[in-house]
């Protein structure tokens, strides 16, 4: 039996065939599913799904890419949502610098057919740099507020990190072992995985591990100890082979587990048993 530890079942991608999606998951041996909030509205929908479906559990939080749109107080409504016994953790929260204005400007320049005037470039860089700082500050504040809430509620956190490794680790170090996090959709190096684990956190692998260019991630998954990682889909994104490019769904968790089992040269049952036990402990789920 497997647990898909990171999905977005509240997204409209699943609105037309939700029950069929759940049935396919059950048929594939995915008996429990964690659906992750990315905003207050998304978190509310996650709780509603968890309260309706016995094999679905909710994680509530505000994604860093929604930080600019978040209100001044997201903690009060999150604390209220956390009263539901179906809430298993806080998140996903963290830092994401991939879409900062300066990065966007750099991408645009790389695709432009003409060279901008130096003065215009300088002005763009100055303006985007100022905007970068404001976004980073808001993301960091929101991350810390949600970590504080996790500590208050004695819950663990689902961590989103993209292009912000050092800053993310620096903030987490401030909390020591007060709360544990899982770095979802892990695609880093073995050294980074070891750093996360040494701080008392976990990593989680997605369908990326099945990709032709996913050899480095497979090597990390093969080298870690059982109990140091979980499995997920991050659906509707990152569908594993042979479904790449299509909508991902919880049933595909089995393909992730099979890929890890092959890389480790063990049975998929061994991977399922270990990752399920780890997820039950991390999310404090009753053993099924």
Q: Nearest Cα to 31, choosing from 250, 259, 266?
A: 250
Q: Rounded to 5 degrees, what are φ and ψ at 7?
A: -135, 170
46: containing domain:
2-95+138-283
> CA 268 to CA 271: how far, in whole Å?
5
- Whether 115 is covered by a domain: the verdict is no
DSSP helix/strand/coil, 117: coil
- Whether 124 is covered by a domain: the verdict is no
Domain count, the chain: 1
Cβ(89)–Cβ(158) under 8 Å? yes
> CA 244 to CA 238: how far, in whole Å?
7
pTM, 2 dp = 0.91
Within the chain, which residues score under 70 in pLDDT? 103-130, 288
Relative to beta strand 30-36, strand 157-162 is unpaired
Report pLDDT for 131: 75
- Whether 108 is covered by a domain: the verdict is no
DSSP helix/strand/coil, 8: coil
Q: Rounded to 5 degrees, what are φ and ψ at 43?
A: -65, -40
- Whether 209 is covered by a domain: the verdict is yes
Phi-psi region of 253 (alpha: psi -120 to 50; beta: other; left: phi over 0): alpha
Supply the CATH number for residue 60's domain: 3.20.20.140
Report pLDDT for 101: 83
- Whether 265 is covered by a domain: the verdict is yes
Report pLDDT for 286: 82
Cβ(8)–Cβ(234) under 8 Å? yes
- Whether 109 is covered by a domain: the verdict is no
Report pLDDT for 231: 98
Q: Which residues pair with 93 in a beta bridge?
A: 159
Q: What secondary structure does DSSP assign to 172-223, as a single string?
A: HHTTTTSS-EEE-S----HHHHHHHHHTT-EEEE-GGGGSTT-HHHHHHHHH
- Whether 131 is covered by a domain: the verdict is no
Cβ(263)–Cβ(219) under 8 Å? yes
Per-residue pLDDT tens for 182-206? 999 999 999 999 999 999 999 999 9
């Amino acid at each position: 039996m497997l647990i898909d530890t990171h999905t977005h079942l509240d997204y409209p991608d699943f609105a037309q065939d939700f029950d069929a999606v759940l049935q396919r998951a059950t048929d594939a041996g995915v008996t429990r599913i964690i659906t992750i909030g990315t905003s207050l509205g998304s978190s509310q929908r996650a709780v509603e799904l968890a309260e309706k479906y016995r094999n679905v559990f909710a994680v509530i939080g505000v994604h860093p890419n929604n930080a600019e749109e978040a209100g001044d107080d997201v903690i009060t409504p999150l604390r209220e949502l956390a009263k539901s016994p179906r809430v298993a953790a806080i998140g996903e929260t963290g830092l994401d610098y991939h879409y900062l204005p300066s990065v966007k400007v750099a991408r645009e320049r790389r695709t432009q057919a003409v060279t901008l005037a130096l003065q215009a470039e300088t002005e763009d860089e100055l303006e985007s740099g100022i905007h970068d700082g404001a976004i980073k500050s808001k993301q960091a504040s929101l991350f810390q507020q949600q970590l504080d809430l996790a500590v208050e509620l004695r819950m663990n956190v689902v961590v989103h990190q993209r292009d912000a490794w050092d800053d993310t680790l620096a903030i987490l170090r401030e909390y020591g072992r007060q709360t544990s996090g899982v770095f979802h959709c892990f695609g880093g190096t073995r050294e980074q995985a070891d750093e996360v684990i040494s701080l008392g956190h976990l990593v989680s692998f997605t369908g990326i591990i099945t990709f032709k260019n996913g050899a480095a991630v497979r090597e990390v998954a093969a080298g870690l100890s059982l109990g140091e990682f979980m499995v997920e889909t991050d659906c509707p994104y990152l569908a594993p082979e042979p479904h790449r490019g299509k909508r991902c769904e919880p049933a595909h968790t089995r393909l992730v587990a099979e890929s890890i089992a092959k890389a480790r040269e063990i049975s998929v049952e061994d991977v399922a048993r270990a990752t399920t036990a780890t997820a039950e402990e991390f999310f404090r789920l009753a053993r099924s």
